[in-house]
Amino acid sequence: MSLILFDFDGVLADTLTDMLRFAQETCDELNVHHIVVQTDLSELEVMSFATFGRACEVPEDLVGEFVRSCTWKFAEKKSPPEVFDGLGEVIKKLAQEHVIAVVTGNTTENVNAFLRHHGLMDCIRAVYGVDMPGSKVEKILKAKNQFAAEGEMIWMLGDSVSDIHAAKKEAGVQSIAVGWGHQSLKMLMDAEPDAFIYAPTEIMDVIERKSHKA
């Protein structure tokens, strides 16, 4: 058995269109004269609403409001974002043998609404959202302390350089970078994750292969 940690935006949830739209709406509401484009998001090293806002030229004194507005817009959206194609079934299979949790820069409420909508609530043991105290590294270590037995493999699946660094270099767990997320593939590869995958069906192959080697 392993502990498998998922980032949310760009890994579990296909939120790209919403993130770009909500960021533009928020910039307009804050009178920030910036046209939001995909590279504002894809070229971030640290993937968070705060760094996204700064990339959109939001003044520092308005970054907190940018974060609150974007997360509120996600919460108020009539239906949660879509799960990436094939990932729901993969998670259901993984949950039969492994412990799964979510570590995210989005809110716990938004993640839970997504999980309920897609029938995945019973598969996820815990959600560590932006509304909980601590950095991403601290949340990874908290999940490790809560759910991982001595010697068990721990994995963090992310779509950003900061996910890779938090997992591999700071928390000392295995890092899997996903190729279907928000960040550019080159930036992810340059960060040297322990594994790189292009489709959700590859998750089980990587975990089984590396677990046997361990």
Tokens in use for 187? 């930036």
pLDDT at 214 over 80: no
How many residues are recorded in the chain?
214
Any idea which of 4-8, 63-67, 117-121, 182-186 has the lowest mean pLDDT? 182-186
Phi/psi of residue 196, each to 5°?
-130, 130
pLDDT at res. 45: 80
For the chain, give the percent of residues with pLDDT over 90.
Answer: 76
Mean pLDDT, residues 138-148 taken together: 94
pLDDT at res. 123: 97
* pLDDT tens, position by position, 176-196: 999 998 888 888 999 999 999
Rg (CA), the chain: 17
Q: Across the strands, what pairs with 126?
A: 101
* pLDDT tens, position by position, 37-92: 999 998 888 888 999 999 999 999 999 999 999 999 988 988 889 999 999 999 99
pLDDT at 212 over 60: no
pLDDT at 100 over 60: yes
Bridge-based pairing of strands 99-103 and 126-128 is parallel
